[in-house]
Amino acid sequence: MWRFIITLAVFLGPPVLASAKPPELTIKDLAGRTHTPWSDEKIKAVVIAFVSTDCPIANFYQPSLRRLSKEFAEKGVAFYQIHPNPDVAPEDAKQHFRDFEITVPVAIDREQRLTKKVKATTTPEVFVLTPDGKTVYRGRIDDTYTTFGKRRSAPTRHDLKEALEAVLAGKKVEVPVTKSVGCRIFIEDK
Among 16, 45, 47, 55, binds other proteins (CB under 8 A): 55
Among 22, 23, 35, 61, binds other proteins (CB under 8 A): 61
SS3 136: strand
As a whole number of angstroms, the distance between CA 53 and CA 164 comes to 25
φ/ψ of 169, rounded to 5, equals -90, 0
Contact between 186 and other proteins by CB under 8 A: the answer reads yes
Contact between 59 and other proteins by CB under 8 A: the answer reads yes
Contacts of 53 (CB under 8 A, 6+ apart): 83, 88, 92, 93, 95, 96
Q: Find the shortest distance in angstroms from Cβ 12 to other proteins.
A: 23
Among 7, 64, 69, 81, binds other proteins (CB under 8 A): 64
Contact between 11 and other proteins by CB under 8 A: the answer reads no
Contact between 62 and other proteins by CB under 8 A: the answer reads yes
Among 56, 132, 174, 177, binds other proteins (CB under 8 A): 56
Site for other proteins in 104-163 (CB under 8 A): 146-150, 152-154, 156
**For residues 4-23, b (16+ Cβ closer than 10 Å) or e, as one string?**
ebbbbbbebeeebeeeeebb
Number of residues that bind other proteins (CB under 8 A): 28
**Beta carbons of 11 and 17 less than 8 angstroms apart:** no
